[in-house]
Amino acid sequence: MFARRRFAVLKDLLEYVGIEPGRLHFSWISSAEAAKFQETVLAVTEAVKALGPAKHMIKDIRKVA
Amino acid sequence: MSTTQEIAAQIREAAKRLLSEGKVDCVIGFAQGTVPMREYPYFAYTPEEAENLTWSRFCCNNLSNFLVRRPKGQADKVAIVAQGCVSRNIVGLIKENQITREQVYILGVASPGMVDRNKVQALFPLKTITEVTEDGDELIVKGLGFEERVPTKKVLRQNCYTCVMRNPVIKDEMIGEESAPTHGGNIDKVAAPWEKLAPEERWAAFQETFKDCIRCYACRDACPLCYCHVCFVDEARPQWCGKTQDEADVATFHILRAFHCAGRCTDCGACESACPVGIKMRKLTSMIEKDIRELYGYTPGMDLESQPPLSVYKPNDPQEFIK
């Protein structure tokens, strides 16, 4: 419940700086909800695959070294 | 309205009185800087030292930063010069159990609105400014071969235009009289400037704003909210954030620094004033504070009673984003 407030702010902040909304997912899953866990993992991977490789927040070690 | 020079004289009187009566061990205020427009935080331990205290439109540091992390063995009862934002940060520190109300004697001052020295310098490109004095609502800027008057309204810091509380919210003694609570600007109109952009343009705007960051951490050190003994950027095991100036590391630092201040930032502008390369980090932090106002109806530091928004919850808090 406390986390819900923090996640709401974090999500808005990341979208505000331009991280694609589809890369950020939140779910409540109980340890007894195996089926929901499986469905969520599939949905998240699908959504991220559709967006393609990440464009931001990538550190190129050859550039900075 | 008293002029800042009159206020400065009254601050010196009050500080001398408090120190000679032994009511406090130290008075935290500002002293005249060695270069123009750079008043610096000053700790007066004796009535003689209190003579060095001053007050002007160039007092850009947030003094409440010095109430925490005081070296061991030093005075435990301190007086502090506090305008609206500083008093709000003191409220925050009390709420977060960093200090007690009894420990601090607050010399309240109505904020005149602080001047952004970069804006003044920008009016005189490539010229050396040797002296800046205040005359009512105007600055007299002197340099090599020129002298001009500049209205202070033109060169205030951005956060001062949209200030919501210029008067101290808690105080033990008021220096000078209270002023109108705001400068008239509306923070909700200027907060979160990148929201107007299309989602795919935002990252570029974010990068453009922070591209000059040299990772000196002046913004963090000037911030009264950043009192952790070991900051996440300084931790090496695990290393949460890389040390380079690569965009990923710079972005990580600034996003997390802003997030750690969520629901606590009083928009005092100390971070922007401290930045040696003039980064406007309020473009980022204003988004969080806007969210806190809109989602949870909270403005940090306005009173001692209300609960910090991220330490409580309501059953009907927004949760459409949780699947």
Residue pLDDT, tens place only, B189-205: 888 889 888 888 999 99
pLDDT of residue B205: 92
Q: Is the pLDDT of residue B317 over 90?
A: no
- B125-169, pLDDT tens digit by residue? 888 999 899 888 899 999 988 999 999 999 999 999 999 999 999
Q: Contacts of residue B321 in chain A, CB cutoff 8 Å?
A: 7-8, 11, 26
Residues near B293 by beta carbon (within 8 Å), at least 6 away in sequence: B188, B299
Question: Which residue among B192, B249, B288 places its CB closest to the CB of A9?
Answer: B288
Query: CB contact, 8 Å: B248 with chain A?
Result: yes
Question: Which CA distances in Å does B38 have to B85, B107, B158, B200?
Answer: 19, 21, 18, 39
Question: Which residue among B202, B248, B259 places its CB closest to the CB of A10?
Answer: B259
Count of the separate structural domains present in chain A? 1
Q: Is the pLDDT of residue A33 over 90?
A: yes
Residue contact A20–B310, C-beta within 8 A: no
pTM value?
0.90
Residue contact B195–A16, C-beta within 8 A: yes
Residue contact B203–A18, C-beta within 8 A: yes
Residues composing chain B = 323
Backbone angles phi, psi at B193, to 5 degrees: -65, -25
Query: CB contact, 8 Å: B297 with chain A?
Result: no
Query: CB contact, 8 Å: B213 with chain A?
Result: no
Q: Is the pLDDT of residue B73 over 60?
A: no
| Residue B4 near residue B56 (C-beta atoms within 8 A) | yes
Q: Which of B301, B290, B78, B302 is nearest to B190 (CA)?
A: B290
**What's the rounded mean pLDDT across residues B3-12?**
91
Asked which of A40-49, B23-32, B74-83, B313-322 is least confident by mean pLDDT, the reply is B74-83
Q: Is the pLDDT of residue B245 over 70?
A: yes
CA pair distance B268, B274, nearest whole angstrom: 12
pLDDT-above-70 percentage for chain B: 98
Sorting pLDDT into bands at 50, 70 and 90, what band is B56?
very high
- B186-243, pLDDT tens digit by residue? 888 888 889 888 888 999 999 999 999 999 999 999 999 999 889 999 998 898 888 8
Q: Tell which phi-psi region holds residue B307, choosing left (phi > 0), alpha (psi between -120 and 50) or beta.
A: beta
Work out the minimum CA distance from A65 to partner chain B, whole angstroms.
9
Which residue in chain B is spatially nearest to A15 when comparing CA positions? B199
If one compares B293 and B74, the residue with the highest pLDDT of the two is B293
Question: Which residue among B258, B317, B319 places its CB closest to the CB of A13?
Answer: B258
pLDDT of residue B225: 93
Q: What is the CA radius of gyration of chain A?
A: 15
Query: CB contact, 8 Å: B242 with chain A?
Result: yes
Q: B122-146: b or e for each residue (b if 16 or more CB lie within 10 Å)? A: eeeeeeebeebebeeeebebeeeee
Q: Is the pLDDT of residue B11 over 60?
A: yes
Q: Which domain holds residue A29?
A: 2-64
Which residue in chain B is spatially nearest to A11 when comparing CA positions? B321
CA pair distance B170, B88, nearest whole angstrom: 8
Query: CB contact, 8 Å: B249 with chain A?
Result: yes
Work out the minimum CA distance from A24 to partner chain B, whole angstroms.
10
Q: Contacts of residue B195 in chain A, CB cutoff 8 Å?
A: 16
pLDDT of residue B322: 87
pLDDT of residue B275: 93
